[in-house]
């Protein structure tokens, strides 16, 4: 989404590359990004195509940050525009981020001195630091309203402030409760971990730690079940009268740390229980958690860029909410970016998945597959050009053939007309000839009928004569027979 100049410029950049600059102008002259031309490097300039809100705490800035954070498509954090926008906003509020982080860590250090020395000076110093932190949270609560309690870390902050103040009041009255002290220091340590989000190199690990606990929650249920089951089996195998916390949990949990003294192998059942504990808790469970955490690490590496910028956006939004009462201007400016024209930032080992993906992208695609594709594209282009020339010549030939076919069609049409007239004349002649032949045949058939009738009459006369002869013969025979009698 960032527009960039077509050509590179040479000069000494005024800041560490890449860096951003905001301006009221759409176009910024490259001399505003360089110091001199004594040690020039190739530079590339990019700019946002529209204005963006860069006033810290302004309504438009909070609305844009809220829209970015609540966006369902987290791939927006991979775009250059969002990344440079967040980085510029981070440079604007990083002082307040470092201040808040220093307050959290100072509070932990002061509380450590309070626990060890019981000095009232450190107690009052703890009250002062926590008063500032409570004021910080109060401003957040007033700006966010009910949404403040939707974040688990805000709830931890609320309880932490209460327990820390309560712990200090108890110490001032010479009263100490170990459970309250333990809860107070644990909550402060948990909140202190979030201070590492202020630094780019540690922000990565805080999010990774959070993901690991999130993915381990269902595994921990199975692990707790197996540990308790092995503890019960060991208690029964060793004939213990009372089931204690040590026999139920510590003995089987110590197997993971390599401590096997609690599993006595005095009989066969205890030996079987010991083998099961080693197999299940030490071999299977440890390998399962290593596999789960390895998958989480690889998965996290794929989206590390998204997690990094989303964490920065959350911190920026939180700080700008606190500073919103100091700034109500909704000024919009253009974002300009100065970067090296050819070099890209190199990171450390990113994990197997990203390493393979970058290898496929940089090595295989760019160095191996892309030249082949370019060569194939050039060959295809040449084939298309030759095909275009061939089609052009074929079109000319086809047009010539079409013209000849049209001429032949006209000649065929003329021949058809002549043939039709000739066939018509022949039909007329044939009809007259057939008519004459029909008359002749009719006459001949009539003559033949007359002759046949004459012939039949003669045959009839002959038959009559023969009959008379037969009668005469019979009469003669009868006469002869009578004479002989």
**Does one domain contain both 75 and 224?**
yes
Q: Is residue 358 part of a domain?
A: no
**Does one domain contain both 396 and 314?**
no
157, 151 contact by CB (below 8 A): no
pLDDT at 278 over 70: yes
**Does one domain contain both 320 and 440?**
no
Q: Is residue 166 part of a domain?
A: yes
- The reported pLDDT for the residue numbered 7 is 65
Mean model confidence pLDDT for the chain: 80
338, 33 contact by CB (below 8 A): yes
Q: What is the pLDDT of residues 437-453, one digit of tens each?
A: 777 778 877 888 787 88
Q: Is residue 305 part of a domain?
A: yes
Residues 80-107: what's their mean pLDDT? 90
**Does one domain contain both 67 and 172?**
yes
Domain range for 109 is: 55-231+294-330
pLDDT at 346 over 60: no
Q: Is residue 39 part of a domain?
A: no
**CB count in 10 Å sphere of residue 163:** 19
Query: What's the total number of domains in the chain?
Result: 2
**Does one domain contain both 311 and 445?**
no
- The reported pLDDT for the residue numbered 292 is 85
- The reported pLDDT for the residue numbered 102 is 92
Q: Is residue 167 part of a domain?
A: yes
Of the ranges 21-30, 39-48, 98-107, the best mean pLDDT one: 98-107
> Which pTM value belongs to this model?
0.64
**Does one domain contain both 314 and 436?**
no
- The reported pLDDT for the residue numbered 30 is 64
pLDDT at 234 over 80: no
**Does one domain contain both 387 and 449?**
yes
The pLDDT-based confidence of 99 (bands split at 50, 70, 90) is very high
182, containing H or E segment: helix 178-193
Q: Is residue 194 part of a domain?
A: yes
Collapsing DSSP states into helix, strand and coil, what is residue 33?
Answer: coil
| Percent of the chain clearing pLDDT 70 (strictly above) | 85
| Percent of the chain clearing pLDDT 90 (strictly above) | 4
- The reported pLDDT for the residue numbered 98 is 92
The pLDDT-based confidence of 3 (bands split at 50, 70, 90) is low
**Does one domain contain both 126 and 213?**
yes
Residues sharing a CB contact under 8 Å with residue 14, sequence separation 6 or more, in sequence order: 33, 34, 35
**Does one domain contain both 429 and 318?**
no
Residues 69-95: what's their mean pLDDT? 88
Q: Is residue 301 part of a domain?
A: yes
**Does one domain contain both 322 and 400?**
no
pLDDT at 355 over 80: no
Collapsing DSSP states into helix, strand and coil, what is residue 13?
Answer: strand
Three-state SS letters, 308-374? HHHHHHHHHHHHHHHCHHHCCCCCEEEEEEEEECCCCCCCCCCCHHHHHHHHHHHHHHHHHHHHHHH
Q: Is residue 193 part of a domain?
A: yes
**Does one domain contain both 325 and 387?**
no
**Does one domain contain both 310 and 419?**
no
């Amino acid at each position: 989404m960032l527009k960039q100049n077509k050509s590179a410029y040479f000069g000494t950049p005024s800041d560490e590359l890449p860096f951003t600059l905001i301006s009221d102008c759409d176009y910024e002259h490259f001399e505003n990004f360089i110091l001199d031309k004594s040690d020039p490097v190739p530079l590339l300039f990019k700019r946002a195509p529209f204005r963006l809100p860069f006033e810290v705490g302004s309504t438009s800035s909070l609305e844009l940050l809220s829209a970015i954070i609540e966006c369902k498509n987290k791939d927006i954090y991979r775009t250059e525009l969002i990344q440079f926008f967040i980085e510029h906003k981070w440079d604007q509020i990083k002082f307040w981020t470092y201040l808040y982080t220093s307050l959290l860590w100072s509070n932990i250090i002061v509380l450590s001195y309070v626990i060890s020395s019981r000095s009232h000076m450190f107690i009052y110093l703890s009250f002062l630091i926590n008063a500032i932190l409570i004021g910080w949270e109060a401003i957040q609560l007033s700006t966010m309203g009910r949404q403040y309690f939707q974040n688990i870390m805000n709830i931890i902050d609320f309880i932490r402030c209460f327990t820390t103040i309560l712990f200090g009041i108890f110490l001032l009255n010479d009263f100490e409760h170990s459970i309250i002290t333990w809860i107070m220091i644990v909550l402060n340590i948990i909140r202190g971990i979030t201070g590492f989000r202020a630094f780019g190199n540690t922000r990565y690990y805080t999010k990774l730690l959070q993901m690991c606990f999130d993915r381990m929650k269902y595994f921990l249920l199975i692990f707790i079940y197996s540990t308790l089951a092995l503890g019960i089996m060991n208690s029964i195998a060793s004939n213990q009268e009372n089931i204690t916390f040590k026999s139920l949990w510590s003995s089987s949990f110590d197997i993971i740390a390599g401590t096997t003294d609690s599993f006595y192998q005095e009989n066969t059942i205890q030996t079987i229980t010991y083998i099961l504990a080693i197999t299940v808790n030490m071999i299977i469970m440890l390998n399962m958690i290593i596999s789960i955490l390895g998958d989480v690490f690889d998965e996290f590496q794929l989206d590390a860029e998204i997690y990094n910028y989303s964490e920065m956006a959350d911190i920026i939004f939180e700080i700008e909410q606190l500073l919103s009462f100091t700034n109500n201007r909704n000024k919009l400016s253009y974002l300009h970016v100065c970067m090296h024209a050819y070099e890209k930032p190199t990171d450390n080992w990113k994990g197997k998945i990203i390493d393979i993906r970058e290898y496929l992208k940089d090595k295989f695609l760019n160095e191996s597959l892309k030249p082949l594709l370019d060569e194939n594209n050039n060959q295809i282009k040449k084939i298309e050009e030759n095909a275009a020339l061939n089609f052009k010549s074929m079109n000319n030939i086809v047009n010539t053939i079409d013209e000849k076919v049209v001429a032949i069609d006209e000649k065929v049409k003329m021949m058809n007309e002549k043939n039709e007239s000739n066939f018509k004349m022949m039909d007329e002649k044939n009809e007259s000839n057939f008519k004459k032949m029909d008359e002749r045949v009719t006459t001949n058939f009539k003559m033949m009928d007359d002759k046949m009738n004459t012939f039949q009459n003669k045959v009839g006369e002959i038959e009559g004569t023969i009959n008379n002869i037969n009668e005469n013969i019979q009469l003669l025979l009868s006469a002869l027979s009578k004479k002989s009698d």
